[in-house]
Structures are given as C-alpha cells and as structure tokens.
Structure 1
Amino acid sequence: MLSTPSKDPLILFYTAFFSKPVDIASIHCDLSGQWTLDKRRLPEAAAVVFHIPNFREIGDAWKYPGQFWVAWSMESRSNYKRIADPKIMRHFDFTVTHERSSDIWAPYLPRASWWEEVRATPIAAKTEAAPAVLFQSAILNHSGRVDFVRELSHHIRIDSYGRHFRNRTIEGPDLGRKTKIDTVARYKFCLALENSSETDYVTEKLFDAFNAGSVPVYLGAPNVDEFAPAGSYINAADFSSPADLAAYLRHLIDTPDAYEAYFAWRSKPLPEALAQRLQELESPVFCRLMKFVQQQKEDHPVRPAGRPRLPFGPRSYVSTRLRKWTKKVPN
C-alpha cells in the first residue's frame, strides 16, 4: 500500500556537527514542521540531514522510500573531498553548502543587519607597531597561504596570534571571537587567508576583519568580489608577489587618505548585487531547508511503499555500528 506522510515535515539531523549535536533549540522558524536529533524517528522523517565532514557516522543509516537525504557542508572540497565524489554524492538527493549552485545556499555571508551594525561602528585607533595581524591555527594550505605569509613577513611586520606562525600572545583573558575582533581592531591590516582557493568559499576570515574595522588583505576565492563592496578589501591575487603587495601596504601606511579610502564603503549603500544576495539569505538556512522540503512534499504527496535500504552497504553498517559502540556514541 502507499502511505501518506503527516502534513508537517520532520527533518532529522542524523550526524553531529563536528563534535557537537546540532543545536535544534536555536532554530527559529515560522513554518510548520519539526526538527529532531532522535534517530529512532528515522522511518518517519521526510528529510535526513548528514553533515559530510562527519561522514564516518553515516554508514549505519537506512534510507526509507520517498525520503530525502540532504548532504550538508560548509567546508571546501579540497579539505573534504567526499562532497566532490560522485560515488558518495549519488546517495543524496539535495545539498546544503556554501556553493551558490547548492539546492539550499548556506554561505558565510552575514545577514543585512550585521552589515548595518558594522557600518555604524566607529573605526578604532590603530595602536600597534606592526601594520598587519594574522590569526591562523590550522596548517591547511591548499591556497598556498603558508608560503604566502612566510614570504610576506620578510617584507612587512606581521603579528601572528594563532597556533601557526605565532609570535604574539593574547594579553589578558581570551574570550574567543570577541577577543579576536578587539585585537584585530588595533591593526591597519588583517590577513584574511582562506585554506583553499575555491569559488564561493569566502569564510568568516574576511567578515571578521570588516567587523574589527581593519582592512582585509584577502587570499582565497576567485569571486570574492561578489561577497564584499568594491574597494573594501585588498585582494592578494592582484599583486605579482608578496613583495609587491608589501610595497603597496607601505604606500597605504604612508598615505593616510589612500588608506582611509578603504572605509568609504561604510557611508554608502551596499552594492545592489550584494544587497540582493543578502535579501535572499534573510531567512535562516534551516527555515529555507524546511520550505524546500515542504515544496518537495507538495510535489510528491504520496510516499511510495517499499523496504528501507542501506545505501552504503552492510559492511559500512557494521563498521559504523562497531565504531559508535567503541566510542559510546548514541545510535
């Protein structure tokens, strides 16, 4: 027999988000529907969300007829190659990623209210002797940022607070992101260096620099211009070498008017293309996911009959179960 699912869709988050459960209590959405972490409700779920970086948790999942599987990742393909593996991705019906081509677009791009708050915040005095600051903890280097920093540091002073290249330490209590923003605010330039140079992969590194009132020196996505106002950042790709870039930074230091021009965007309306993107993102990502699932249910109102299957096979099922049992991970 064919069964008709309940009117309000249930979305199950099957995996952790890195080491933590997804915080479904923080999801605020006016749409009807439910979110759950309870794997016992897998058979009734309209959609099941899997965080691809936690791929080792997926192997024991059964897929029920008519159920939508959603691949979720905000990481670069270089760091998590499974998102680009067609043998793996064929088991998922939809994607939620930072890539513009995803079914549900989930970029790092802050919402419109954030931009307004940043524009209204006064620029802090630049009190540090070094002109540039860096926060980098991971050694991931698909963008070539390790060699970039090493060469740039030969030509201009860089204070580095992260685990990588560290030559400065935080003074006083470290309150996480707030301390980072307050620290960056004291520098003229902030090195915003992505670990990968991929289209649409523009992360919080750029936006943290804007938030701090420091001019970002960006290395990463070739289409970064779609994520920030023109003239608001310095693109390392525009220079022939780190030495050439350092010479330009010294020019800006010696020419206050030229440096201040990088903050002119704060007194102007955001570019139309960027404003349109922000409007599209005004609804939180999981609300947009729920709306998408509701539309899929309307297009496919009757759930087909049949038995569930193991998309990744019995061997993967057993190994995943053993791994979870060994680590005492809830099933």
Structure 2
Amino acid sequence: MYITIVLFSFAYFNDHLALYDQTASVFDPLRSKLDINQQQQRDITIFLWDITSKERDWSGLLSSDANLDNQQQHLYKQQQQQQQQQQQQEQQQQQQSRSLKSLISSKMDDVEFKDENEKVCDVSCSFTNNHIDLPLSDYIVFDPSFIHRDDWRRSPINFPEKLPFQKFVLLDYFSKSQFPILADPRYTSLMDLHFNYSSDSTQQLSLACPPDPSYTTKNTTSLLLNNHDSKPWESRKGLVFISSNCKIGFAKSRINYVKSMKSIVDIDTFGKCFESTSTQSGNNRLPIKPTNINEIIKSNMKEFENYKFALTFENENSTDYVSEKVYSALYSGAIPVYMGSKNIDNWVPTGSIIKVSDYSSPIELANYLKKVIDDPKEYKKYFEWKKSELEQKVIDKLRMCINGFHSKCKMCKMANDVLSIKQLELKKGLTTTHSSYQPFHLQMQGKGDHIKVDSSKCPTCLDLSEKYTLMAWVKPTSFGDQRVIDKNTGGTIDGYNFDIQKATDSSRGIARLCAGGNCFSSHMSFSPDVWTHIAVTYSVNNEHVHDNKVNFFINGKKDIPQDFFNPTAKNKHPVLIGASNGAAIGDSGTYNGNIDNIAIYNRSLSNQEIINAMWNKPFGNEKDILLYFDFDVNPLHRETKGTVKDRSIYGNNGIFVAEIASQSDFKRWSAKQVKEWATKEVQVREEYAQMLLDNDVDGESIAVFTEADFGKCGIVVAPAKKLYLAAQQLLIKQQQQQSLSHQHSSSSREKSSSPSSPSCQYSFTQSFYSL
C-alpha cells in the first residue's frame, strides 16, 4: 500500500472571477526507478505543498521526525535491522543523558525519552516536501497560513489536478479574523476534510506542542510538572506581554486592554505594539522570527521564564482556539493570564491560569495581579496542580500536538482507512517499476493543429440530442472564434459546437454553444492566459417546461439560464477538438492556447456535479462519460504515437492532426523555393525529427501543402521526410520562437514541459489550475 498526503497553499478569486498568473518553482516531472522503489517502502507519504524548505514549515511536520515506521509490515526493514539496532542504542544513550536544563534553565532529574506507545504506528508513513510525489498523493492538504490575508481577493488560488483516490484537506490553526479566506465558502466548499483546533473537525489538533519536536508525551508531561527551582519567585520580574500582531483580528482590543492594565501595574512588552518600558534593559524587539511551532514555544519560554506572569491573549475569542502562548507560559513556570477561548479550562491543568473573563475590567485584574506579586502564598496557589499527576484532559491535548507522534500517526491511519480497494487498485496501477503517472495538458498553437476523435468503437456515442454536458479547462492566449468541441458543419448548425468568443469587452472571452439551430452565449466572461473551467449543459424535451434550458458554468458558477426546446441535430461529422469541421486550415475556428480535461457527458449535470467534475477526475468506468481527454502520461493507458487516449469506457480515442503551417505562411514562399527545399537534405534538431515520427500516422507519409496549390489550400500526400522537414526548417525561426515564447510565459500551474513532445505544433505541460 502506498499513500501520499500533500500540504498546499492558496490565493483566491477577484471580483470578475479573473485570475492572474504568479511565478512558482519548476520541478522535474520524471521519476527514476530508484525514486519509485523508495516511495513504495512506505504505506503513506505526507507531502507539504509550497514548502520550499523546513525553515518555512510553521507546523513542524517536516522538522519533527519525518518517518513513522511499522517494522512488521516491511521486509526491507529487516535487512537493515542490525544497523538500526546499533543506531537506536546510540540514540537512547544520548537521549537518556539529555536534560531540559538548556531549555528552561532549571535543574531537574533526567527524563526518559523512550515511550513504548510512541514507537510504532499502525501504518508506515513519511513526511516530505518533494514535489515529485504530488501526482500520487492521497491527501492534498492546503494551509492558508501561506496566503496574505488580502491578496487572495486579487490573486489566483492554485489547485493541482485531483485524481479519484485523492482528497482535498484543509489544515489550519488560525482564527478566521486573521485569515478571512477561511470564511469564504468558495474556498472551503472544495475541501473534503478539515483538520483544525475545533472539536467538530475531522481530526482535532492542538498547539500544545513541546519546545523540542523529539519530545514524547512523557517528556512534555515532565516539563509541565517541573518546579523550576533554578528560577525562584524572588528572581522573577512581574508581568510580560509578547505580541507582534497589533491590528489584525482581536489585536486592537487586547492592545487597549494591556494599555489600561499598564496604568496600574508595570508590564514589560516585547514586539512592535509597545515602546520599551523602564523595567526593561535594552530594546523590546522580538528575536528573529522562529521557523516552526516548536521554535516559537522555545523562544517564548526564553522570555517567560524571567517573569511571574505572562499575558497570554489570543488573536480571537473562539471556542477551542487555544494557541501556543498559554503552553509556553506553563512550560516556563510563569502563570498564564489568559484571554481567549471560553472553554480554556478543558485545555489546561485545573487552577493553573488566571482568566481575564473572571474580572470586570482591566483595572480590577491589574490590581489583583499587583496583590499576588506581593503575596507569595497567593502566587503558589497556581502551582498546586504540579503536586499531582497530570490530568488526562491535558494529556489528551498534548497528544493532539500538530506535529506530535499521535497526531501524525492518526492522520496517516485515516488516509489509509479511507482508501477504498478501487482507489488503491487505481493508485497502484499508476506507478510501475519502469514508469509513473504524470499529469499534463495540451498546448495548441492555432495553426490548424487539432484532435480528430475516432469513435469507431462506439459510432453513435457522440451523436448528442436532448441531454448532455460539455466541459473543459481552457487557457486561451486570445479571444475570437475558437472551437473547443465541434461536431458541426462549418457555417451551419447541424450538430453542436462548444467554443470561445470575444465578449463585449474584447479583452475578455465568453463561452458559446451552437446547437438545435441556435447559438447561446454565457453572460459571465473570463480573462486570457488564465486557467478557466467552462461547462455547458443542454436539456430539452423535459416533462416540466421550465426544465428545458441551456446553462453555462464558469469556474463552477452558474450563469443565467436560457430557455430552449429544440433537440440537437445529428450528423456524420467526427468530433474535433480545437478546430471547426469544414473550415480551412489556419482560418477561424482553431484553438490557440492550453486545454485540458475535455469531457462529454450523456446527461445534463447539476451545478454541484459540475463543481465536483472540475476537481475530481473520473475512475474511467462511469457510464455517463462519453469522452474524457486528460493528456496525462499514464502507465494504465499505453499511448501510441499520435493518439490521444480516451479515459472513458467507450474508447473514443483521438488522433493528433498537427499541421505544419497555415495558408498565409506558405503564400509567402515561392513554388521554386519550396520545391528546392523539399528535394535537398535539411539538417534539423533531433526533437523535430521525433515530431515527424509522432505525426507520421501511417509511418510513411504526412499531409502537407503543395507548392502548386497555395490559393486553394489543397492537401496532398507527399513524402514525409522530404517535404515535412523542408517546410519545418522554414518555420524553425518563426514558429519555434513563438512556441518557446508560449512555454516561457506559462503560469505557475504549468510546471514542466514534456521532454517527449517538444514540437512547435503542440507540447505537453504540467497541469496545475487556478480558481
């Protein structure tokens, strides 16, 4: 069994649902045999998306132990058993000699770093930020902490392709006031699971994490129960408040509360929200920002251990929202003065904190704290809980630490449990010892290159009439008459064609459907050079007259319905992708841009089904999907050169028709030049020779223009290697430059080009969408 989980980050919609490109890192889409074998050694791999290094991983999932092993399930472990036992003995010796003195500046008995309950997870699991694992990830986990709180309204949200065995998971431990995107249903509705601090979440997490990710629950318990004798009452200062958030969320209210308290009692403050106080030596700047939750707690402890009280005010007063602040204080021996969650008593030892909510005003609270500072007996009441065993409610929260063993193991087990047999079989089939699955999309140049659908296995499947759905992901470079799916005679409406037209604002585009003797256009528009999902449903001859409609959907949002009653006519034309039936090559109707996940359904989908289809690839056994082109490199479906594999059960495969030039290109060349170049040896780069083989469908010849028939744009069968290479040489300077320009300006969703298809006519690029 092999499972992967991916963590990811976003931005979102703008007012016009137009999205703009951003730059992202590029990764190699190819796996080596060694990589595959290494990955198969574990049941589950959890991948953190958009984390370029451990230093950017605030959750600490990468910084903490990255591997959870079940030795009984993996024979390869037995081969390394002797070496591992030796390493474990050395590690245990080092761990047993360790002391928490360096972290809390106190003397205490050595703690045992071995916990029999935290050695083996039921599944073998690893955490990584290697992008090569994305296509085979089972959980794709998104983390909004990498999104600017406002930029998501203007910038795109990036989503990977979603395969049938994958789930989108939202992982967050932040207040909605800090990250408003968490309150936007367009964002949250795409998630299958939600991991956060709430007791209602799929998996509840906490920030009750230790200062060192190597600590077990037993270690952290010992740290909490430590008496901190090296920092006695007399040596500690009064109150401290640390804050770097002065405006967002609840920040202004808590800052004002602290200001009122400061009129009664001295409070040392760290961060940019206050000036240094007279009791502080030096400035009040915070140290370099820690990289993850464990480092944050460790940094807080370094300051808190010098004070009797630590003001631990949350960013928001939400139930179950308890950050690391209160635990940092408890670990360091300071009494937390807490403002935040109403059910905080469920999260901390009984009698260990002072709650702001118990006092009518900041003045009353400040006077009480001033009293406690002068009364050691009153102060010691808040440490009575250390004389007993730690309560189970607190141990439970420690086990929920976001990067702790128990939380990580639970996440991995959940990923393993929800994977159905059907999903597992599909996933296993996508990776072999020699090749692996990689998602790509098709780049079309608008030079007559298109796909002709061969429906020989199901001759009448695509003869749509009363109810159907057409959809695709598109990223056009410009707008005009550009066919997406066409089964019409050019200049008439004797079938159906789904295309893109210019909007009233010529800089934007609209979707159009021509069928049933009429043409319909979407009211919503979209931008060029941005991935957009377009779909249309057609439903007539329904019992209820008001159900007879044509509906457009742009990025899953339903457009204004349009009433219609006529069925779609049938014809004998093949379905073309990216071109118009009967149109001259190079004329209007050819698609120019990127395209992916083209689908035809034999029924009218609902709005929710459209949204699901946007992000969920089909298994391939669905009876209602008549055609599905995803252009992916897939070992389950061996591709033949020049063939586009249909993932549906109907086998409506396509054939690439990659014309070498438009009519206007050839008009500029004289017959003498073409004839001369066609009969001489022409040296071209290796990839162009490969393109010849890819497009030479019958192995001997290819359709090209003749030098004698420019005006009529005639097609003849000519010797491939002569005429094709000659014409290709003429186009290298202009078309290669144009093709490279398209590829270099590709968005962050286009992470790599396929090394097997570097043609000027079309190329494959990594699929990665925005919404």
TM range (shorter): 0.7 to 0.9
* Residues 275, 256 of structure 1: alpha-carbon distance in 2 compared, 3 angstrom cutoff: same
Quick one: which amino acid aligns to residue 120 of structure 1? N
Tell me which of 174, 184, 189 is aligned to 1:75: 174
Query: Following TM superposition, by how much is the alpha carbon of 1:287 offset from its aligned partner in structure 2, in angstroms?
Result: 2.2
Quick one: which amino acid aligns to residue 416 of structure 2? Q
How far apart are the structure 1 equivalents of 2:423 and 2:226?
48
Tell me which residue corresponds to 2:346. 226
> Larger strand proportion, structure 1 or 2?
2
How far apart are the structure 2 equivalents of 1:201 and 1:37?
28
Instruction: Indicate if the aligned counterparts of 1:125 and 1:186 stay in contact, CA closer than 8 A.
Output: no
Quick one: which amino acid aligns to residue 394 of structure 2? L
Query: 1:113 and 2:202 equivalent?
Result: no
Tell me which residue corresponds to 1:100. 199
Which range moved further: 54-63 or 289-298?
54-63
Instruction: Indicate if the aligned counterparts of 2:138 and 2:166 stay in contact, CA closer than 8 A.
Output: yes
Tell me which residue corresponds to 2:250. 142
Tell me which of 49, 52, 56 is aligned to 1:20: 56
Instruction: Indicate if the aligned counterparts of 1:155 and 1:243 stay in contact, CA closer than 8 A.
Output: yes
What is the RMSD computed on CA atoms of the aligned residues? 3.9
1:112-158 Cα deviation digits (max 9, x unpaired):
53132231242413457852111111213416211111111111110
Query: Following TM superposition, by how much is the alpha carbon of 1:26 offset from its aligned partner in structure 2, in angstroms?
Result: 3.4
Quick one: which amino acid aligns to residue 289 of structure 1? M
Instruction: Indicate if the aligned counterparts of 2:181 and 2:187 stay in contact, CA closer than 8 A.
Output: yes
Query: Following TM superposition, by how much is the alpha carbon of 1:286 offset from its aligned partner in structure 2, in angstroms?
Result: 2.6
Note the 1:22-37 alignment, pairs <5 A: 23=62, 26-30=65-69, 31-37=123-129
- Normalised by the size of structure 1, how large is the TM-score? 0.81
Query: Following TM superposition, by how much is the alpha carbon of 1:276 offset from its aligned partner in structure 2, in angstroms?
Result: 4.1
How far apart are the structure 1 equivalents of 2:143 and 2:52?
6
How far apart are the structure 2 equivalents of 1:301 and 1:133?
53
Structure 2: state its 5+ residue gaps: 4-39, 70-122, 210-216, 291-295, 428-438, 442-470, 476-525, 533-745, 751-767
Quick one: which amino acid aligns to residue 272 of structure 2? R
Report the 3-state secondary structure (helix = DSSP H, G, I; strand = E; otherwise coil) of the residue aligned with 1:297.
Answer: coil
How far apart are the structure 2 equivalents of 1:187 and 1:13?
37
Instruction: Indicate if the aligned counterparts of 1:232 and 1:262 stay in contact, CA closer than 8 A.
Output: yes
Quick one: which amino acid aligns to residue 12 of structure 1? F
Tell me which of 118, 143, 156 is aligned to 1:51: 143
Query: Following TM superposition, by how much is the alpha carbon of 1:89 offset from its aligned partner in structure 2, in angstroms?
Result: 1.1
How far apart are the structure 2 equivalents of 1:132 and 1:15?
39
The percent identity for this pair of structures is: 24
Note the 1:268-307 alignment, pairs <5 A: 268-278=388-398, 283-298=405-420, 301=423
Report the 3-state secondary structure (helix = DSSP H, G, I; strand = E; otherwise coil) of the residue aligned with 2:158.
Answer: coil
Tell me which residue corresponds to 1:328. none
> Larger helix proportion, structure 1 or 2?
1
1:171-211 Cα deviation digits (max 9, x unpaired):
9x958765642432222111111111111111111111111
What is the count of residue pairs matched by the alignment? 323
- Normalised by the size of structure 2, how large is the TM-score? 0.37
Which range moved further: 312-321 or 278-287?
312-321
* Residues 93, 304 of structure 1: alpha-carbon distance in 2 compared, 3 angstrom cutoff: farther
Instruction: Indicate if the aligned counterparts of 2:473 and 2:531 stay in contact, CA closer than 8 A.
Output: no
Quick one: which amino acid aligns to residue 116 of structure 1? S
Which range moved further: 188-197 or 55-64?
55-64
Query: Following TM superposition, by how much is the alpha carbon of 1:83 offset from its aligned partner in structure 2, in angstroms?
Result: 2.3
1:216-237 Cα deviation digits (max 9, x unpaired):
1111111111111121110011
Tell me which of 370, 390, 395 is aligned to 1:250: 370
Tell me which residue corresponds to 1:318. 530
Query: Following TM superposition, by how much is the alpha carbon of 1:37 offset from its aligned partner in structure 2, in angstroms?
Result: 2.8
* Residues 12, 184 of structure 1: alpha-carbon distance in 2 compared, 3 angstrom cutoff: closer
* Residues 28, 13 of structure 1: alpha-carbon distance in 2 compared, 3 angstrom cutoff: same
Tell me which residue corresponds to 2:313. 193
Query: Following TM superposition, by how much is the alpha carbon of 1:77 offset from its aligned partner in structure 2, in angstroms?
Result: 1.7
* Residues 60, 280 of structure 1: alpha-carbon distance in 2 compared, 3 angstrom cutoff: closer
* Residues 300, 151 of structure 1: alpha-carbon distance in 2 compared, 3 angstrom cutoff: farther
Tell me which residue corresponds to 1:236. 356
